[in-house]
Chain A
Amino acid sequence: MEGTERNKTYVEDIDRSIYDIKDKVNASFLTEKGLNFGIVNTISLEKNDPKWMREFRQNALKVYNSLELPKWGPSLDGLDMNNIVTYIRPNTKMQASWDEVPEDIKNTFERLGIPEAERTSLAGVGAQYDSEVVYHNIKEEVKRLGVIYTDMESALREYEDMVKEHFMKLITPKAHKFAALHGAVWSGGSFVYVPPGVSVEIPLQSYFRLNAPGAGQFEHTLIIVDKGANLHFIEGCSAPKYNVANLHAGCVELYVGENARLRYSTIENWSKNMYNLNTKIASVEKGGAMEWVTGSFGSHVSYLFPSTILKGEYSKMEYTGITFAGGGQNLDTGLKVVHGAPHTSSHIDAKSISKDGGCCTFRSSINVESAAVHTKSSVSCESLMLDDNSRSDTIPVMDVRTDEVDMGHEAKIGRISDNAIFYLMSRGMDEMEAKAMIVNGFAEPIAKELPLEYAVEMNHLIQLEMEGSIG
């Protein structure tokens, strides 16, 4: 017995370190800490922005300075912009071959399994390290279909018109303070264009790794899925843990064309010193479908509410999400949907788990405009609290401006039943295994929507969290 116990701890240590291994900061350029006009201009110069982008950044900074911090969510007191380095360029150019990526960075992504996943199950991969993308590649056969998948900087040069037409149009800097911050200092991220009628059969994946302490990551992801096209995009993120606050304020803008389908899957596993203030919006044309699959495990504080604007008739969205908050984590997640046209539908299935004093808040905002007759919306939210110190809140908001709707909302908050634990223990599992099995089972409907390797990772994360919580 002793042996097995020790063995378990051993595995746990190894696995945590996958995320926690820190590379020596070896930047080729970094800005000073803080945020001001000079820093924003330096970033713009360094990145060789076109003029309109430089002006965009400068305007966004003005908006940033004019906006207040949000007061309705988890505290942001621990985040001091004066201590954040907003731009860190790794010591490499973007490569299309892993062999060209510097050893330490390559090893980090190897440990995260990215090149392996690329070989086995992805159509293309982008890998960002601190502020810049260090690797981007797409399979030849996908490229031949006319699919564009590249980093935002290249897109800004090579597809400037397309970028200009869509960049920060769904999320404007005025949306909130951190959208404005993003507009001012954004760097990195992926650009995807799928031409009409093209179905990308296997997913594209971008992975965002923040290595430097006290740094911010502000990648911009812009995806356009044209008429009748189909794409699954996966986003992964992680960072090693530091004692200083790190900041992630990315933006994701998704354009889903007529009868197109986009699935956007995220596994977010930031370290617990991270302020994750990410913004994501999708707009969906007639007959289009937007699917969000999201697992939020990491960060100290999260504000994350993917929004969907159902612009065209018969457009629809599905949201499947799970949030897991452990000690010291306050994760405010949820979604917003605007039903702007008739016969639109939204289906939301959200789960949250909190333990060791962790706090999960789930906010849903369903807005049905007067024109959106025959709208259907269903929200289901289930929370599991693993102990008495933890907290779980559900805050549903509905604004419905027509009578011809079919709306449903269901919320359940519960605890693990002692009888269920005893039942599993009577079959040989120890207390930790029994609890982990119940929690994994609770998360299963979400896990099965995730790409396989992420589902495995999620089960594994739950296992680790549970081991940490007992004894």
Chain B
Amino acid sequence: MLEVNNLQVYAEDKMILNNLNLSVNQGEVHVIMGPNGAGKSTLGYAIMGHPGYSIEEGSILFEGEDITQEKADVRAKKGIFLSFQNPEEVPGVTLENFLRSSRLALTGKPVKVFAYKKELYKAMETLNMDKDYASRYLNVGFSGGEKKKSEILQMLVLEPKLAILDETDSGLDVDSVKIVSKGVEAFKNKNNSLIIITHNTKILEYLPIDRVHILQSGRIVKSGDASLIEQINISGFRDFIPKIVH
């Protein structure tokens, strides 16, 4: 589904990712872990097409098509979704209207108002969100936890083929992590794929993990199965830091 080949990404004049390779198949759940500043969020932005992150080398293929030069909206239309670590606040636009416009933009088909509303409320219920949030302005005055729920809600309603969750669990209390995990579980099926960027392993307890990658200094230094998580929980990232020879 997703092929990232030899990716080199700059933010302003600084190289953040270099020679990064990643391959995610349909139906898989991949986890990306790594210390702060390793470039995890940059990878999410680069796959989604943030204009502030320029791809200097390498390519991104989605379902066989080269999307390296495509804008974010084109990538979204192809089925890529990014759950933001710090979602923007958009005053004056209600969550409900936003999601309806978004769905219209993604599908190009008129949205049936009542069916959409029913679906929206059902997704909100899954996330223990009060219905009032639908008529609140997008992320405005939302707490950290509410913003994350709003991201997962969007994922549930927009049904992307590939969702990248950028630290969706950070800053959440135990109960909220459970709720968000429930949302992610509800989203996951055999046809869609997930890339979960996280510091924390709680969100992963409820999901079947196919691959775990450790991102360090802008490249993937180690990949493995779910057992890698256990290893990191015990001894941190220390073991994966490239040895510096004095």
Residues of A within 8 A of B (CB): 4, 417-420, 422-431, 433-434, 437-438, 440-445
Contacts and interface: CB of A to CB of B under 8 A. Distances in A.
Contacts of B108: 4
A444 to B, nearest CB: 3
B142 to A, nearest CB: 14
A8 B89 CA distance: 28
B73 A429 contact: yes
A41 B210 CA distance: 90
Contact of A433 (B50, B52, B105, B138): B105
Contacts of B88: 417, 419-420, 423
B168 to A, nearest CB: 15
B84 A443 contact: no
A417 to B, nearest CB: 7
B67 interface: no
Secondary structure at the A interface, as helix, strand, loop or mixed, is: helix
Give the top 7 A-B pairs by smallest Cβ distance, nearest first.
A441-B92, A444-B92, A428-B105, A428-B106, A425-B72, A441-B93, A427-B102
A407 to B, nearest CB: 25
Given A422-B51, A437-B101, A430 B92 contact: no
B90 interface: yes
Interface stretch (B9-17, B74-82, B169-177, B229-237): B74-82
B71 interface: yes
A291 B52 CA distance: 45
Given A417-B88, A418-B52, A425 B73 contact: yes
A426 B105 contact: no
Contacts of A437: 90, 93, 98, 101
Nearest to A417: B88
Contacts of B90: 420, 423-424, 437-438, 441
Given A4-B108, A445-B92, A427 B137 contact: no
Nearest to B76: A428
B198 interface: no
A419 B75 CA distance: 16
Contacts of B52: 418, 422
Contacts of B81: 426
Contacts of A424: 90, 102
A443 B50 CA distance: 26
A431 B73 contact: yes
A438 B81 CA distance: 20
B141 interface: no
Interface residues of B, number: 31
Contacts, number: 80
Contacts of A444: 91-93
A447 B92 CA distance: 10
Contacts of A440: 92-93
B46 interface: no
A438 B98 CA distance: 10
Contacts of A426: 48-49, 72-73, 75-76, 81-82, 84
A173 B10 CA distance: 65
Interface string B33-66: 0000000000000001111100000000000000
Nearest to A4: B108
B154 interface: yes
B87 interface: yes
Contacts of A420: 88, 90
A432 to B, nearest CB: 10
Given A423-B84, A425-B72, 11 more contacts: A418-B51, A422-B52, A424-B90, A426-B48, A426-B75, A427-B154, A427-B158, A428-B102, A438-B90, A440-B92, A443-B92
Nearest to A419: B88
A373 B71 CA distance: 58
Contact of B71 (A4, A427, A431, A445): A431
Given A420-B90, A423-B84, A425-B71, A430 B137 contact: no
Nearest to B89: A420
Contact of B105 (A423, A430, A442, A443): A430
5 contacts: A422-B51, A423-B84, A426-B82, A441-B90, A441-B91
Contact of B50 (A422, A429, A434, A442): A422
B135 to A, nearest CB: 12
B223 to A, nearest CB: 26
Contacts of A429: 73, 101-102, 105
A425 B93 contact: no
Contacts of B87: 423
A431 B70 CA distance: 13
A346 B92 CA distance: 24
A442 B140 CA distance: 12
A372 to B, nearest CB: 34
A429 B101 CA distance: 8
A428 B154 CA distance: 12
Given A418-B51, A423-B84, A437-B101, A430 B73 contact: yes
A425 B72 CA distance: 6
B76 A425 contact: yes
Given A418-B51, A423-B84, A441-B137, A428 B73 contact: yes
A428 B76 CA distance: 5
Interface in B81-114: 81-82, 84, 87-88, 90-93, 98, 101-103, 105-106, 108
Contacts of B82: 426
Contacts of B91: 441-442, 444
A442 B89 CA distance: 12
B76 A427 contact: yes
Nearest to A436: B101
Contacts of B98: 427, 437
Contacts of A4: 108
A359 to B, nearest CB: 23
B89 to A, nearest CB: 8
Interface string B164-206: 0000000000000000000000000000000000000000000
A433 B98 CA distance: 11
